[in-house]
Amino acid sequence: MGVSRNWFNVVRRKFITKSQRDITILHSPSPSQEAIIITKFPEAAVNSDEDISSASSTIPKKEFSKEDIAAVKIQAVFRGHLARRAFRALKSLVKLQAVVRGASVRRQSRIAMQCMHALVRLHVRVRARQILSEPSDG
């Protein structure tokens, strides 16, 4: 189980590292203007290319500080911890449901088998009466 998590963490770390280098946030000088997010991927850009080029000359760039990056990492790790804990609780709940449903199905099948056994006994009695009551060809 540790092996499967290990390869996933390696991929996740590489993805997070790349995404932190690729995103630049341009903050607006006044609260009324929106911040512009520039990425190296053109389809992920918020505004058109003309808006970004004109805005980048007027809006000062602000890079993330080490504290901001550390805070984001801490939040991501903590959210991952909460998600794993919720998933474990969900898995145990699913197992509990399986146990309860299994017990219910076994009880239903036991009742069905008893009913079928009773029907078979009734059928045997009816056939025995039919055989005994038939007139013999003697």
Please, what is the end-to-end C-alpha distance for the chain in angstroms?
Answer: 79
Q: What is the pLDDT of residue 45?
A: 45
Average pLDDT over residues 96-113: 94
Percent of the chain predicted with pLDDT > 90: 41
Q: What is the pLDDT of residue 44?
A: 46
- Give the ranges where the chain is alpha helix by DSSP (H): 2-22, 49-58, 66-133
Q: Three-state DSSP class for 45? A: coil
The pTM (predicted TM-score) of the whole model is: 0.36
Residue 104 pLDDT more than 80?
yes
In eight-state DSSP terms, residue 61 is B
Which of 3-17, 26-40, 112-126 has maximum average pLDDT? 112-126
Rg (CA), the chain: 35
Tokens of 60: 């000062």
